[in-house]
Amino acid sequence: MDRVIIRHMGELLTMDGVGPRDAFRALMDAAMVVEDGHVRWLGLDQDLPVEYDGLEVDVEGALVSPGLVDAHTHLLYAGDRSYEVRMRAEGRTYLEILQAGGGILSTVQKTRNASDDELLWETRKRLSRAFSAGTTTLEVKSGYDLTAKGELRLLKLIARLAQEGPWRVAATALGAHAVPPEFQGRPDDFLVYLASEYLPHLPGLAEVVDIFCEPGVFSVESSRAYLQAAKRHGLRVKLHIDELADGGGGTLAASLGADSADHCAFTTPESFGAMAEAGTVAVILPGTARYLNHGHMADARAMLAAGGWVAVGSDGNPGSSPTDSLSSLMPWAASWLRFTPEEVWTSVTRAGAEALRRPQSGRLAVGVPADFVVWDCDHYAFPTYYYGTNLVREVYVDGRRAAVNHSSVL
């Protein structure tokens, strides 16, 4: 029997409440018993049962939380798009950069040309950085090849990376990320092609099918037909919606019973209400909205008021959110979305797990895997306030320490 006892936590966030409004749970001066990789007991340190013995880890008053859950990333790609910094400084918009040969299509070309080993090497570095910043569970999308064969290759690479660990990866099939050059001006023909040559091969490779439902890319009507085809293959669905304009994607996501609708920068309170009723999680990507500098932030408080889960994701990608650290966005979720510290923590743990349909992640409770983070601070408000520094001290998966940041002095 493999047993570890984590003791003398300043605060322990369990995040094991029932719903969106009461998911946040915290214990002061706590202890936790981990047995064979799962939580066996947790409570006040003074109440630790005497029958539990084993390796004791004294965290010396540190904050301990569940591992973070990033419900939206595009971390599998080749190259970077740092040259776009100059183009944005010159005043070019996201769509203008795309039309000039930049944007998604430039990454598509680099990714198509990269070998499997190159893609694995680059993505492994991003996953390692995400993990060392506290993310233990994350989604990774395909989407930077835009051919059926190439997108299946990317999903197979995601599966290889998932097996490596220590991270837990949920794979999403985003073949409908953009219209490729081969189908320029024919988005509906591209979706028909994907429905016949791509969707039938996804079971076993991906858990969910995604689409970029946005005015000027894939319409609501076309997105509906494509996602309904995915559901006929037994796949769950989610959508990119309303990143650049209100296109009615929230209502579509609700009608399809989508796992999540992501971005939601221009989504209306009425659509948020429909999503909440349908159990569709709103995944807000505040770093993207600010990085693109379009001046419009999702009305996350409207979704909270509607009673739905609201997750915050990194949207880690090479163009509109070049990061792999979800924890670095926690202060900005507080500032830009007007979230309380409790709401921030819910958005990067339990809500993310709800969006990925991973109920064992994002919380600490008896019987769940012991994935947790030891922070270089002693109370939960601090990581929602202090920005620009990785405050993660140690990361554990299945009760085993898998990452240490030696800059910690706590």
pLDDT value for 93: 81
In angstroms, the CA 100 to CA 85 distance is 14
Provide DSSP, 111-124.
Answer: HHHS-HHHHHHHHH
Q: Phi, psi (5° rounding) for residue 74?
A: -125, 55
pLDDT value for 410: 42
- Within 13 Å of residue 370, how many CA atoms lie on the same side as its CB? 27
In angstroms, the CA 305 to CA 249 distance is 19
Q: Of 201, 124, 118, whose CA–CA distance to 155 is shortest?
A: 201
pLDDT value for 409: 45
Spell out the domains of the chain, with CATH numbers in brackets.
Answer: 3-67+363-404 (2.30.40.10), 69-356 (3.20.20.140)
Q: Which of helix, strand or coil describes residue 213?
A: strand
- What are the structure tokens assigned to 207, written together? 């858990």
Per the CB < 8 A criterion, the answer to whether 376 and 360 are in contact is no
Per the CB < 8 A criterion, the answer to whether 29 and 38 are in contact is no
Per the CB < 8 A criterion, the answer to whether 275 and 250 are in contact is yes
pLDDT value for 407: 57
Per-residue pLDDT of the chain (410 residues; tens, 9 = 90+): 689 999 999 999 999 999 999 999 999 999 999 999 999 999 999 999 999 988 999 999 999 999 999 999 999 999 999 988 998 899 888 778 877 778 889 999 999 999 999 999 999 999 999 999 999 999 999 999 999 999 999 999 999 999 999 999 999 999 999 999 999 999 999 999 999 999 999 999 999 999 999 998 999 999 999 999 999 999 999 999 999 899 999 999 999 999 999 999 999 999 999 999 999 999 999 999 998 887 689 999 999 999 999 999 999 999 999 999 999 999 999 999 999 999 999 999 999 999 999 999 999 999 999 999 999 999 999 999 999 999 999 999 999 999 999 654 44
pTM of the model: 0.96
Per the CB < 8 A criterion, the answer to whether 271 and 248 are in contact is yes
Per the CB < 8 A criterion, the answer to whether 213 and 241 are in contact is yes
Per the CB < 8 A criterion, the answer to whether 274 and 254 are in contact is yes
